[in-house]
Chains A and B, each alone.
Chain A
C-alpha cells in the first residue's frame, strides 16, 4: 500500500473546446493538509469536482486508497469517506440551519428510511449537528432559516455541513471566500484541530496565502489546467516559475 490516500492519473476534463483540467497527476498523503493554489480559471474547482464525483472526467482516473473510484456515482462518495464544501454556497435554503447540518449527519447513519420516528427525536444526529455548529460558531443561529443568513454565515454553514458529514477526506473549496476576516482565525484553528486530533486528510483550495502558508504541508500550484509546481510552502515560495506565473508580490507578504 502506498501512502497516498487520493491519487489522480492523467486526469483531464474538457468543456467543449476548453481543457479545464489537463493531465493532472496529483498525490495526496494520508493525514496531511494539502493545498491547491493557482489563479482564477486554473481548474482547481474542476479538479475538486472530478475527485468528489461531481463531474466525470473526459479521461484519466481517480484512485482512493489505491482503488479506482472514477465511475462511482455521486451519492456513494460520501459513504467512501469523501466530503466536500463548495466555493459557491450550496445549501438547503428553506430549511433551518440546524436541519441543513443534521441532514449531513443523518446521511452517514442508518435511520434514513425510518418513517415512524420523528427526525427531531434522533438525538445523536442533532447533537452531532449542534457540535459542528458550535465549532464554526453558528450555534446561536441554529433555528434560523438558512436562506436568511448573511453571506459570511452561509460560508460557515457550508463548513458545518462538511464537518457533520464526518468524512475522512475533506475537500474545501475556498472556505474563506466571502467569510468575514475575523472568522479566518477560527477556520485556521479548526483545520489545525482536525489535523492534530484525527487522521483526516484535508485538501484545500485557497486564495488567502497566509492561510495556505501556515497550514499546508504540501502545495500544488495549478495554471491553465496543469500542475505547474509542487512542494513544501518554503519550496513553493522560492520557486521562480511560480512567482512569475501567478504569485507576484501578494505572495511575498504571505510568507510565514
Chain B
C-alpha cells in the first residue's frame, strides 16, 4: 500500500501532466502551430504564472511557515533580476555561472538583512525590510550607475542565450520554467517537512515556547529568510530572462504586495496555495484587462475583497476546512453583505 499515491499526490501529478501537454492542447483546439500564435501566447501567460508561483511560495515560507511578515520581499526578487541581467549583459557571464551568482548573492543578502532586522519582530521587522527594499529601489533608479543599471529606464535587452530565448524558443522556455517551478516546490516542501521546518512552524505558533524548549530561534529564522530569499531571487532571475529586461519596479512595493496578495488568495502556509494564487492573479488580471480595459485594477480590488470575505483562509485553506461548515459561513456573509448594501 505504501507505494500508492495519495489523492493530493494524484491531483499534483494530474496538474503537472496537464501543464506538460497544455501547449499541444491549445494548438489542437486553435489549429495553430504550437510554436506561434495563440499557443505561443498562452505559453507566455503560464510562464509568468510559474515564475510568480515560485515568488509567492518563497513568501509563504516566510509568512506562512515561520510567521515573519515582510514588506520588502521585492528586494530579493529584484536583486535576482538585476544580478542576472548585469552579469549576462555587462560581464558576459554564461547562464549557469550567472544563476549560481544569483544564489550566492541572495544568501549573503538574506543573511545581512536577517541579522540586521530580525532583532525586531512583527510590524517593526516588516518596516525594516521595507526600508531595505526601498534603498535598493533608489539604488536601481540612481543615475550614477546608469551605465550598469540603466537607471529609471531599467536594464534593457539582456542577452539571453539563443537556445532558451523566450521569443524564439518559447516552448523550450515554457518547459524550463515549468521544471523550475516543480523543483522549487519539491525543495520547499522538503524544507518545511524537515526537522528544521517544523521548528519554523513552532516559531510561527509560539516563539517564546520554542526558546524554552531549547531552540535558538534566531538561527531558524535566518534559515527561513535565506531559503525564502534564494527562491525569490531565482524567480526574479527567471523574470528578467523572460522579460529580457529588469526595471526598478521589480524592487518596488508593488512587487511585494503582489506576493502578499497571491499568498493570501491562495492560502497561507500551504505552499501550493500561493502557487495557485499566482495563477489566479495573473489570469484574473489578464481577463479583467480584456473585458474592462484600463479600469481593471479597481475591479480587481473588488474581487480581492470578495475573496477575502468568502475564502478567508485562501483557496487551499478554505478547501481544507470545507467540513467546518463553510456553506453556513457563506450564507451568513452574503446576508451581511446584502444588508450592508441595503443600509450602508
Q: Are B213 and A107 in contact (CB under 8 A)?
A: yes
**Which single residue of chain B is at the shortest CB-CB distance from A80?**
B214
Tell me if A202 counts as interface (CB < 8 A to partner B).
Answer: no
Q: How far is the CA of A113 from the CA of B209 in the complex (A)?
A: 19
Number of chain A residues whose Cβ lies closer than 8 Å to a Cβ of chain B:
35
Q: Are B214 and A114 in contact (CB under 8 A)?
A: no
Given the interface pairs A75-B217, A103-B213, the reply to whether A116 lies near B201 with Cβ below 8 Å is no
Q: How far is the CA of A93 from the CA of B202 in the complex (A)?
A: 9
Q: Are B212 and A77 in contact (CB under 8 A)?
A: yes
Q: Main secondary structure on chain A at its contact with chain B?
A: loop
Query: Closest Cβ of chain B: how far from A210's Cβ, in Å?
Result: 29
Given the interface pairs A92-B209, A93-B205, the reply to whether A115 lies near B190 with Cβ below 8 Å is yes
Given the interface pairs A75-B215, A107-B213, the reply to whether A112 lies near B201 with Cβ below 8 Å is no
Given the interface pairs A93-B206, A95-B205, A103-B202, the reply to whether A74 lies near B211 with Cβ below 8 Å is yes
Interface hit among B43-51, B92-100, B192-200, B327-335: B192-200
Given the complex, which residues of A lie within 8 Å of B195, measured CB to CB?
106, 111-114, 117, 119, 122
Q: Are B201 and A94 in contact (CB under 8 A)?
A: yes
Tell me if A118 counts as interface (CB < 8 A to partner B).
Answer: yes
Given the interface pairs A92-B206, A94-B201, the reply to whether A112 lies near B193 with Cβ below 8 Å is no
Given the complex, which residues of A lie within 8 Å of B211, measured CB to CB?
74-75
Q: Main secondary structure on chain B at its contact with chain A?
A: helix
Tell me if A99 counts as interface (CB < 8 A to partner B).
Answer: yes
Q: Interface size class for chain B?
A: 20 to 34
Tell me if A78 counts as interface (CB < 8 A to partner B).
Answer: yes
Tell me if A104 counts as interface (CB < 8 A to partner B).
Answer: yes
User: Which of A77, A108, A119, A122 touches B197 (beta carbons < 8 Å)?
Assistant: A119
**Which single residue of chain B is at the shortest CB-CB distance from A117?**
B194
**Which single residue of chain B is at the shortest CB-CB distance from A52?**
B212
User: Which of B190, B208, B217 touches A118 (beta carbons < 8 Å)?
Assistant: B190
Tell me if B284 counts as interface (CB < 8 A to partner A).
Answer: no
Query: Closest Cβ of chain B: how far from A151's Cβ, in Å?
Result: 17
Q: Are A114 and B194 in contact (CB under 8 A)?
A: yes
Q: Chain B: residues with CB nearer than 8 A to chain A?
A: 190-191, 193-199, 201-202, 204-206, 208-217, 223
Q: Chain A: residues with CB nearer than 8 A to chain B?
A: 52, 54, 74-79, 84, 90-95, 99, 102-104, 106-108, 111-120, 122, 161, 165
